[in-house]
Amino acid sequence: MAKHVPRAAALIKPYLNKVVLQVHPDFFVHDASKKKHNAQALQQLYDVLHPILRPQQQETHKKQSDPITLRFFRKGNKGQQQQQQAPSVVFQAPGDVWPTVQDFFELCDHLAVPIQPSDRQAVRDTVAHLRQRLHRHPARSLQQQFADALYQEHHRHYQNANHNENTWTPTAILRQPLLMCHPDVDQDRVATQFAQWLPHLEPARWWGILPTLIVPEHDYHRASDNTSTKGILVLHDAMTEKDIRAYLGQHLQQKLRERSE
Q: What is the pLDDT of residues 13-68, one digit of tens each?
A: 889 989 998 898 888 888 889 999 999 999 999 999 988 888 776 555 566 667 89
User: Bridge-partner residues for 85, per DSSP?
Assistant: 73
Can you give the pLDDT at residue 66?
79
In one letter, which amino acid is 41?
A: A
E-strand spans in the chain? 68-70, 73-74, 84-85, 89-91, 179-181, 212-215, 233-236
User: Bridge-partner residues for 235, per DSSP?
Assistant: 214
In this prediction, the residues of the chain whose per-residue pLDDT falls under 50 are: 1-3, 79, 81, 138-147, 151, 153-163, 165
Cα–Cα distance list, 197 to 72, 174, 201, 208, 241 (Å):
34, 14, 7, 15, 6
Within 133-207, residue ranges assigned H as helices are: 140-159, 170-175, 187-197
Please say whether the beta carbons of 91 and 123 come within 8 A: no
Distance CA 237, CA 234 (A): 10
Distance CA 198, CA 207 (A): 8
